[in-house]
Structure formats: C-alpha cells, structure tokens
Structure 1
Amino acid sequence: MNTVRVAHGPTATLDGVPIGYVHDRAGAETAAVNTVQALTQAGQGRIPMGAVEHAIIARDPGPGLRRSLGIGADRAPERDVVNLVPAAVSVVDFSALAAQVSVWTVAVSRSAISDGDPASVITAWATHTVSLVWESGDWKAKELTSQTGPTPEQTVAPSAQSPLSATPESGYYSFYIN
C-alpha cells in the first residue's frame, strides 16, 4: 500500500487503486470520480478487476456495477487506450451513510480501425451515476449507471433531467490509474 496526501482523499493506493476518502461530500465526489476511472482502466486490462473489486466495491454491488465488474474480469491489456476525464461532478444526494454522485466525462481514444490504417481520435461524452455507501470506514461503490451524453452543445441550457442541472462541485481529485 502506498500513502497519498490529499485533502479529501484518497489517502493511499491498494494494488494501484485509490482508497481512503474523507467522510463528507467532497470525499464522496472524489471516490465516485476515481471509481469510474478505475473501472475504465480495469475494463481495458490495465489493472486487475479483482484489485478494483477488493479496494472500492461494496459488499453487495447492484446489477449495473456487477456488469461493469464482469467486463474487465480476466481481461488482458488492450493495445488501444481510452482515457476517461471528468468534466463536471455533482452530488445528487448525500447522507452520512450513502451518496449519489453524477460524473460527466469525456472519453478520448486514439486507435486504428484495422492494422495499417491511420490512427483516428474519438471522443465520447457520458454521464455516470455512482451510488456510494459508507462501509468499513471508506466510500465504496454500490451501484453504477451510465448513459451517453450530453455533449457540450447540449449543455447550454440544461434541462432538469440533465446531469448538469445541479451546480458542479469543485475540489474533487482525479487520480490517473495506470
């Protein structure tokens, strides 16, 4: 385990996965962002999904999160890389025992469609809603739902259903999991 010093957490990494978040809104925000990024990296075979599951997943994950865990199980590292970057984070619901956090992301990928083709850059916007529980002294992911969009053009006047209808938070920390 490696020690990290950040205001809201994480306080350490366990097998490359950030752990140890403050028991407040900012800690939940950071835990949600890092959960989405850890699942993405494990889904590409960059870190073992078992390490992610052991470090940041609640004892009884919901069906959406179980699907995400299955995607990266025993996956070999892929040649192509997808980097997932948080654009805005908002706390939808918060209590001492649970939090629901919306993470609006852009994914950037550079790859060739087939061998010998020139590389293309692809971007995709998505919203991930992470349900967290306070378990064993840390924020743990209980459920994850994801949907495509909105794109930046669609966020000029966000509707009440938009992930950007709540005021985006500041102060979360994103750790690139490599």
Structure 2
Amino acid sequence: MSQGDERGYGGHEPGAHPDDAYSTLGGTRQTRTRLPDGDEGDGYGRRPARNSRSLIMVVGVVVLLVAAIAFANQGGGGGSDGGGNEKKSEAAGAGPTAATGTKPVQGKNGSIASGFAHDEQGAQSAAANYAVALGSAEMFDSVRRREITTAVYAPDVAAARQSDLDKVYSGEEFLASIGLNPDGTAPEGLVFISRSNPVGAKVEKFAGDSASVAVWYSALFGLAGEGSKNPVSESWYTNTFELRWINGDWKVTDFTQKDGPVPVGRDQAASPADEMADAVEQFGGFTYAR
C-alpha cells in the first residue's frame, strides 16, 4: 500500500481529489442538488414545505408499515421452520448487516475490539471497527497512532506502514492546512473532531482465511469552537478492506477508498460551534458489530 492509501491523505486513492486536502478527512467539498423542474425550490436546492396531501400519504405509509410488522411478528405454530424464514428474508432483500444474535466480539486490543468470529459476520464487524479506528482523531497522536496501526494491520504490513503514516500525520504543512498545531493538537479554545460513523457493511469476497469487506460510512471532520476557520463538516465514503485471518483474528492487509454514496442533505440549521464541541466530548463512540 502506498502512502496515499491511508484515508486518501496522499491523494492517490480511488475517488480522492489531489487538490483537496480534506477529501478523505470528512472534508469541505459540498454537493449541489438540482431539484426536478416540477418542484418549486427556494433557489438554494431546498424543497418546499409539505402540504396536507403529502402528510396524509406519509401517515398512510406509516400505518401500512406498522401493519406489516405486526403481521410478520405473528407467532406461528403453522409449520414454517427457521430455514424457510431465512429464505423469505433473503428474498425480501434483508440487509446484510442485520442482527444475527451471535456475540460478535470476544475482547479488545487496547481500545479497539478484537477476537472477531472466523466467518463473514466477524469480517464485517472487524472492518467496521477498523474504519472507526483509522478515521479517529487519535491517529493524529503519535503514541495512539502506533497502537492503532499495530492492532488493525497485519504484522508485516504494520511494520512497513508505520514510518509512512508518521510522515503523513506529522507533516507540519499538512497539519497547518487543517488548522492543527505542529504536534497534532487543536489550537487553544478549539476541539478537533475526526470521527467515522459506519452505516453498513457488506462482504465482497470471502474465502475462509481471507475476506474483502466494504464499509459505507459518514465522516465528521474539522475544528469546533468559536473562531474556527475549519468548521466541522460531513462527508460520505466507502472503504473496501482486504482482510486476512492471522493469529485468531482479522487483520487489514490493504484498503481502498471512494467517495459516496452521498445522501441529499435536509434543511437543518447547523449547530453553533460550542454545541458541536460539547457533543463530541459528551457522546462517546460505539463498538460496531452485528
């Protein structure tokens, strides 16, 4: 893997833009959305307020949904077994990250989950957790970065990548471009936010001791606080992790990244800088697993 493989910092990954320092960091690029000609917008891509007819349609959909759930949950001594239910679920397009009831994680390696199951579910859980670790603000701390690299990557890959990662995350020019001090810390009065939030994962390939897993996630990145010149913004990416089963756990051997899929943003007002700073300090992250 080249230096650019790590969240696109070098700008060589698929989907990364070489002229955008934040392209894989929850950056500042925005997407303009053109509404269909039939919709009357306000000139800024925002949808008009829903009328009463739309409200009635929404209520109708909710009622149908509740009825469908109730029907699906009806008890049944009527002759269908677990295998039949599974086939029906697959035919209906059940999400690949649906809960399975199997305990997915047995332990942890530092602050990162470990001991994932040696199956497709375990590979998805590992990839989602690793996406969170590699996209965290802790990657900008030299000590924590080494711990994360050791925990996430295969041993031979971690050893080869460590110096490259140090160069990327410790470059004064790069740190200055995103508003951080030369030591990777936030300026006084500001809170640095770098957080990946997986929305789903899917197995692209699986062959016993190797797997390829795609993780779709949103990324928050920026400096929160009064006077921030790099306010926290949201971006969407898909990372595809190449995993190998090593010493009883899944480890990353390589990964690629691409932009999107990106949803249309709603008309929600951005939170004040101090509220965003408080949120990242008060709300901890999750261990992602099925």
Would the TM-score normalized by the shorter structure come out above 0.5? yes
- Cα offset, 1:54, TM superposition: 2.2
Say whether 1:57 aligns with 2:169.
Answer: no
Say whether 1:99 aligns with 2:211.
Answer: yes
1 CA distance for matches of 2:164 and 2:103? 29
- Cα offset, 1:136, TM superposition: 0.5
Please point out which of 131, 138, 151 is paired with 2:242: 131
Which has more strand, going by share of residues?
1
Which has more helix, going by share of residues?
2
User: Which structure 2 residues correspond to residues 96-175 of structure 1 after superposition, within 5 A?
Assistant: 96-109=208-221, 111=223, 116-117=227-228, 120-153=231-264, 175=287
Deviations 1:98-138 (A, max 9, x none): 000000110123535x9724884411001101110000111
TM-score (norm 1): 0.69
1 CA distance for matches of 2:151 and 2:287? 15
Contact 1:104 1:127 in 2 (8 A): yes
Deviations 1:68-126 (A, max 9, x none): 844457964444112210112110000111000000110123535x9724884411001
2 CA distance for matches of 1:44 and 1:132? 24
Aligned counterpart, 1:19: 114
2 CA distance for matches of 1:143 and 1:119? 30
2 CA distance for matches of 1:32 and 1:68? 22
Q: Which runs of 5+ in 2 are unaligned?
A: 1-101, 172-182, 265-285
Contact 1:19 1:56 in 2 (8 A): no
CA gap 1:89/1:51 in 2 versus in 1, 3 angstroms: same
Aligned counterpart, 2:202: 90
Rg (Cα) greater in structure: 2
The alignment yields a C-alpha RMSD, in angstroms, of 3.2
Q: Secondary structure at the match of 2:116?
A: coil
1 CA distance for matches of 2:120 and 2:126? 10
2 CA distance for matches of 1:175 and 1:73? 27
Letter in 2 for 1:37: V
